Amino acid sequence: MSPPEPEPEPEPVPVPEPDSDSDSVIDDHARALATLLAGRRAVALVGAGLSTESGIPDYRGAGRAPRTPITHREFLHSAAARARYWARSVIGWPAVARAQPNAGHLALAALERLGAVTAVITQNVDGLHHAAGSARVVELHGSLWRVRCLGCGAIERRDALQARLAALNPTLAPVAATSIAPDGDADVEAARLAAFRVADCAACGGLLKPDVVFFGDNVPRPIVDESYALVDGAEALVVLGSSLTVWSGYRFVRRAAERGQPVAIVNLGPTRGDPLAALRVEAPLGALLPRVYSCLTNTPLADSR
**CB atoms < 10 A from the CB of 259, how many?**
16
* Identified catalytic residue from 29, 129, 130, 141: 141
Nearest to 26 by CA among 299, 260, 210, 295: 295
**Gap between the terminal Cα atoms of the chain:** 46
Residues 6+ apart with CB under 8 A from 192: 87, 171, 172, 175
- Measured in residues, the chain has a length of 305
Residues 6+ apart with CB under 8 A from 80: none
Check if 29 is active-site.
no
d(CA 233, CA 207): 39
Residues marked as catalytic: 141
